Amino acid sequence: MASNPTSNVWTMADPINALAPAMAATSLHDDERPAAAAAATANNTTLTAAQRALGNHLILSGIFSYIQMDWDGEWTECVKKPEDDELNEKSREAKDVDDDDDDCYHETLWYRFGGVLLRCMLVNKFWFELAVGFLWEDVSQSAPMIWDKNDLTTLMSAIEPGRRQMYARHMVVAQEGRIFCRTDQSVDLSDLEFPRLEEVRLMTEYENYLPRMKAPNVWELSVNPRYESDWDGPEIYTLTEYNMDELLDQIAERFPNLQKLTFEDRAMAYEGTMEEFRKRMPMLTEIDDNLVTEVVADTHTLRPWLDRPWSGSLWR
């Protein structure tokens, strides 16, 4: 979970604050009982202590918080699917299932805390409004446990445009994955606001694309470019001096208040590029570019002195 000790806005990833309007409808005072309690009284029934507890946002927040922290838990669910369903690939079949329906098979689904939170969202509207903040706080961790995808634009493209903002307002950490030929037209995030987003993880391929978004509080960005090397073959760089400038321009435009930038794998840049970028970013206080090799533009040689690596599809 990202937190910025120097920021005065959204300094803590607190789902309670983000869901304050939804929770305002639930009060502990007798004269402002939840709708469920009022309905129970109208029907001459009495809610049990457990029912009241599960309708209290403070108690539910504690439960969802513990679910979110459970990294080791794993559960299974047996789901019956039609044999001719081309959208679902068969996996392991559940054992000891007695079913005479020859047109269906039983698939065992494995899920972890993201799947638990997703199921909590399906209980009722109140649980949905509360659990959605915990699930979407860091979708780079929770989403793969549900949809097997975790990059921001892929997740948003699967959501109806009118509903995207509801999820975007909860995100604190986001990841953009390695997607081939991605452009602004792939999915338009420029109208979405990410008020709580603080940390972005960018994994680049040959295309190094950072989606347009309104995220004024992003203060940390990590870039993980694809880089391959073995003993017998040449090095393969995907983030080279030819596209580094473009990526840095995108970073400066999207995240002007960036304070920390990290390159997690090897990349290349023209000599002086990183120093110029530091001057463009007045808020940038920490940059880890030890894995970025500078290229002298006029001689096309590397510093330190290494054999020219394989970059892209041609020897340069």
**Distance from C-alpha of 235 to C-alpha of 312, rounded to nearest angstrom:** 10
Task: Judge whether 103 lies within some domain.
Answer: yes
**Distance from C-alpha of 98 to C-alpha of 173, rounded to nearest angstrom:** 44
Q: Which carries the bigger pLDDT value, residue 273 or residue 117?
A: 273
Query: Which are the contacts of 298, defined by CB distance < 8 A and separation ≥ 6?
Result: none
Task: Judge whether 86 lies within some domain.
Answer: yes
Task: Judge whether 107 lies within some domain.
Answer: yes
Range of the domain at 91: 75-111
**What's the pTM value of the predicted model, to 2 decimals?**
0.64
pLDDT score for 17: 38
Q: Which carries the bigger pLDDT value, residue 269 or residue 102?
A: 269
Task: Judge whether 79 lies within some domain.
Answer: yes
Task: Judge whether 276 lies within some domain.
Answer: no
Task: Judge whether 6 lies within some domain.
Answer: no
The domain tally of the chain equals 1
In this structure, of 18-27, 116-125, 151-160, 293-302, the range with the lowest mean pLDDT score is 18-27
| Residue with token string 């940059």 | 287
pLDDT score for 134: 84
pLDDT per position as a tens digit, 228-245 = 887 777 788 888 888 899
Task: Judge whether 192 lies within some domain.
Answer: no
